Structure formats: C-alpha cells, structure tokens
Amino acid sequence: MGQKRRKRANIRNQHGLDFLTRADHMAVSLWQALTTALSNRTRVCPCRAQV
C-alpha cells in the first residue's frame, strides 16, 4: 500500500513540475515578445530618431 501512495505522489509531483515548466516557458516567451516589440517600437519612433 505504501508503494502505491508513493507512486501517486510522484505522478502528482511530475504533473506539478510539468505545469510549472510550461508556465515558466510561457512567461519567458511573453517577456521576449514584449521586449522585442518595445525595442522595435523605440527604433521606429520618430521622437527617438531626432536625438
């Protein structure tokens, strides 16, 4: 009985880690997209070009 409980706990932990990994990758992707969009915007902005 103890082995079954441990196995279930491991499966639950694995799912939790998968979720955290996916969430982390999504956050990084969003951050990269945001910073890329912002850097492109500042390059194109006419007010920055004059400086």
> What does the DSSP assignment read for 12-40?
HHHHHHHHHHHHHHHHHHHHHHHHHHHHH
**Tokens representing 30?**
């969003």
Tally of residues, the chain: 51
What tokens appear for 36 in the block?
């890329």
- Compute, in degrees rounded to 10, the torsion defined by CA atoms 15, 17, 19, 24: -170
Q: Which domain holds residue 44?
A: 1-48
> Can you give the pTM of this predicted structure?
0.50
Number of domains, the chain: 1
Cβ count within 10 A of residue 41:
10
User: pLDDT truncated to tens, each residue of the chain (51 aa)?
Assistant: 566 777 776 767 777 788 888 889 999 999 999 888 877 765 555 665 554
